[in-house]
Amino acid sequence: MTDAGAASGRSGRGMLLMLLALAVAAQFVVLYAPAQPGGLPVFPHADKVVHVLVFLVPTALALVAGLPARVVVPVFAAHAVVSEVVQGALLPMRAGDPFDVLADLSGVVLGVVVWRAVTGRRTSAPSH
């Protein structure tokens, strides 16, 4: 790889890591900010779509940036569960919801799917 190609790869990864940091910050705001009083959802189960997205985006960004899947996937999966426990036990204006955990975990799985689609990774071993 040329020096210019290496620099371009580093700056691209740096951009992905910066976007990852922003996505994780947004995830924390969505999951831990006090609930907004009132307000109707835009459509039924809109909150579940938001839960999927706040886990899909950071998972995909982390994996595309080259962070190891063996770390990224368990960390975000654990955060999916822990965030709902924290909401239910420690945040008086929030409530833990097992269906939110399912939406969060779906986001993690979809993040892996996006990563594999973007990078061309396969789920099965190549045939001979």
3-class DSSP string for 48-76: HHHHHHHHHHHHHHHHHCCCCHHHHHHHH
Q: Which residues in 65-91 are b (16+ Cβ under 10 Å) and which e?
A: bebeeeebbeebbebbeebbeebeeeb
Residues 5 and 2: their CA atoms lie apart, in Å, by: 5
For residues 89-106, give the mean pLDDT: 94
Question: Residue 44: what pLDDT?
Answer: 85
Output the pLDDT for position 125: 52
Chain centroid to CA 114: 11
- Asked if 39 and 94 count as a contact pair (C-beta separation under 8 A), the reply is no
Q: Which of 4, 104, 5 is nearest to 57 (CA)?
A: 104
How large is the average pLDDT for residues 56-65? 98
Q: Select from 119, 127, 98 the least CA-distant residue to 13.
A: 119
**Amino acid 110: pLDDT:** 98
What pLDDT is recorded for position 22?
Answer: 98
Q: What mean pLDDT is reported for the chain?
A: 88
Roughly what angle, to the nearest 10 degrees, separates helices 46-64 and 3-32?
Answer: 150
Q: Write out pLDDT tens, residues 10-51.
A: 788 999 999 999 999 999 999 999 875 556 678 888 899 999
